[in-house]
A = this chain, B = another copy of it.
């Protein structure tokens, strides 16, 4: 069996997220598996580097699957791009050693969140950015972002109820760039909990509105109380940009 790694782009708007579900065929993983199963004439499972939620986009999601076709890599990629819906694409393909696993071997991820800080609609960004009309203080958000970085127990920053697994993660950096009405937040870390980026974003926006600050965030990281963290911002502003491997 060959082990094929693909880099994927998708617009999450229409999908129920990455992960295959019994109740719907409308997931990215579900679509890929159905297509590859058809291509190979036998059941193919696709592993992703991680789940993306319903409505979240990807510029560089990584997945891998084991197949026994003799097709060339370029043929597989062309076949996939021909039959995938217009909002999912394979932008790169590579043959990997048998033991490569897109999730288990991932060393780090980059997510980006886009905010339009304006009361004037930006219609071309409406599917990819979240609009905040209240003026945001970028410097205050940068200070708050500094407090969010590091190695911490991020249990205040997840919607997951499971307390068994570790909620310690390392956030390497949160970069905040402003260009015109748009503010882009780039999160780099070794991994992110369920809803973690979106709750950190809600917290940063509250800092930008002077409703919280770096001192409160430091306390919050110690207390671990979800209710004291920011709100869950909408999925549409979020995109998985890159997955890093060693």
Binding site for B on A (CB under 8 A): 9-11, 57, 59, 78, 81, 86-91, 119-124, 126, 128
Please indicate the chain B residues that have their CB under 8 angstroms from the CB of A57 in the complex: 124
Copies in the complex: 2
Please indicate the chain B residues that have their CB under 8 angstroms from the CB of A123 in the complex: 9-11, 86-89
Q: In the bound complex, do residue B11 and residue A86 qualify as a contact, i.e. CB atoms below 8 Å apart?
A: no
The 3 residue pairs across chains A and B that have the minimum distance between CB atoms: A89-B121, A89-B123, A9-B123
Partner among B87, B91, B119, B126 whose Cβ is within 8 Å of the Cβ of A120: B91
Please indicate the chain B residues that have their CB under 8 angstroms from the CB of A89 in the complex: 120-123
Q: In the bound complex, do residue B86 and residue A126 qualify as a contact, i.e. CB atoms below 8 Å apart?
A: yes
Please indicate the chain B residues that have their CB under 8 angstroms from the CB of A90 in the complex: 120
Nearest B residue to A91 by beta-carbon distance? B120
Please indicate the chain B residues that have their CB under 8 angstroms from the CB of A121 in the complex: 9, 81, 86, 89, 91
Chain B's nearest CB lies how many Å from the CB of A4? 16
Chain B's nearest CB lies how many Å from the CB of A72? 15
Please indicate the chain B residues that have their CB under 8 angstroms from the CB of A59 in the complex: 124
8 contacts between A and B (CB under 8 A): A11-B124, A78-B119, A86-B121, A87-B123, A89-B120, A89-B122, A89-B123, A90-B120
Q: In the bound complex, do residue B11 and residue A120 qualify as a contact, i.e. CB atoms below 8 Å apart?
A: no
Partner among B9, B87, B124, B128 whose Cβ is within 8 Å of the Cβ of A9: B124
Please indicate the chain B residues that have their CB under 8 angstroms from the CB of A88 in the complex: 123
Please indicate the chain B residues that have their CB under 8 angstroms from the CB of A86 in the complex: 121, 123, 126
Chain B's nearest CB lies how many Å from the CB of A123? 5
- Give the complex CA separation of A120 and B87 in angstroms: 13
- Give the complex CA separation of A128 and B123 in angstroms: 13
- Give the complex CA separation of A126 and B10 in angstroms: 12
